[in-house]
A and B are shown apart, each in its own frame.
Chain A
């Protein structure tokens, strides 16, 4: 039973967050600081997801060159900064990781 309740609660939460302003609020009435905080949300949340995915792929932080995901991720970041196509960092990162795994493993 619990999985179904969890699924429905997550669905309701994501819908209400998406609908927050579109359905319920007048964006002009919110304080300036709140709108400013909202603008920083994507950069902060996405970086908080990316950093451990690269620097702590197995749970513990590993900043050594043996961490192939960190190396491949840095390649992907450099590519993403130059090429604005969403596929570029995905292709460059996967290719880098496979090459490094092939060269070392």
Chain B
């Protein structure tokens, strides 16, 4: 049986390839915090407390655009709605842990650690200390993320614009989007959400993101329903 220490070390080791992709993203998040007008301390606090690249970027963009605080918080929450799905998905595996453990793993949850946890918890073999695997991966991700964000804040506007480093952020989302499209309903949701995001691009305060996400989810659910109906008929 693998000990808690073995699991922790394995989690930290297995997450390391992902760290390379994290570096440009973290730098951009740090640069965005500086560009938004937040002080370095505020920028770092945002990162240390929310630990979500997407939420940090949206929040920084909206603060830079002088959006009202309520809009900033709403947009940061909407882009974080995917965490609810992750939370639902891993909760059966964490149900036996005490509240402090569950709060810690929830606080540290990211797209990457969710993917790692799903793989580890579904593997065959004994399950005793698997939450230590998730903790090892999550803490490694957390430390690497905060370090690169801090470098981004410190470097600030000194990264030349011609490097187009902000494009790396869009590419990171592509790297997450493509594996997230597993079914036809996912594909329909993605296409409709992408199209609505462009049609609604003129809306203020990133409301296009909200409208597009809801439209995509509705389209995916409609596809899923009609597929069921066809299956019943056959």
Interface residues of A (CB under 8 A from B): 2-11, 13-15, 17-23, 25, 27, 30, 33, 35-56, 59-61, 69, 72-73, 76-77, 80-81, 84-90, 93-94, 97-98, 101
Contacts and interface: CB of A to CB of B under 8 A. Distances in A.
Pick the 10 closest A-B CB pairs, nearest first. A44-B216, A51-B194, A11-B49, A53-B170, A48-B212, A47-B190, A19-B106, A80-B178, A46-B177, A21-B87
B73 A48 contact: no
A36 B87 contact: no
Given A50-B173, A77-B174, A7 B45 contact: yes
Interface in B168-190: 168-181, 185-187, 189-190
Nearest to B79: A45
Contacts of B168: 90, 93-94
A33 B221 contact: yes
Task: Pick the most buried of B168, B178, B179: most chain A CB atoms within 10 A of its CB.
Answer: B178
30 contacts: A7-B42, A7-B49, A7-B50, A8-B49, A10-B77, A11-B46, A17-B77, A17-B83, A17-B84, A18-B83, A20-B88, A38-B85, A38-B88, A41-B82, A44-B192, A44-B212, A46-B180, A47-B190, A47-B193, A47-B194, A51-B212, A53-B170, A53-B173, A56-B198, A56-B201, A86-B21, A86-B172, A90-B21, A97-B167, A98-B164
Given A76-B174, A87-B20, A27 B88 contact: yes
B81 A80 contact: no
B131 to A, nearest CB: 11
Task: Pick the most buried of A33, A41, A43, A73: most chain B CB atoms within 10 A of its CB.
Answer: A43
Interface residues of B, number: 87
Contacts of A11: 46, 49-50
B46 A10 contact: yes
Interface of B: 17-18, 20-21, 24, 38-39, 42, 45-46, 49-52, 54-55, 59, 63, 69, 72-73, 76-88, 90-92, 94, 99, 102-103, 105-107, 109, 162, 164, 167-181, 185-187, 189-198, 201, 208-209, 212-217, 220-221, 224
B82 A42 contact: yes
Task: Pick the most buried of A22, A23, A52: most chain B CB atoms within 10 A of its CB.
Answer: A22
Contacts of B191: 47
A60 B220 contact: no
Contacts of B224: 36
Contacts of B77: 10, 13-14, 17
A73 B49 contact: no
A93 B194 contact: no
A4 B42 contact: yes
Nearest to B210: A48
A47 B177 contact: yes
A74 to B, nearest CB: 10
Contacts of A89: 171, 174-175, 178
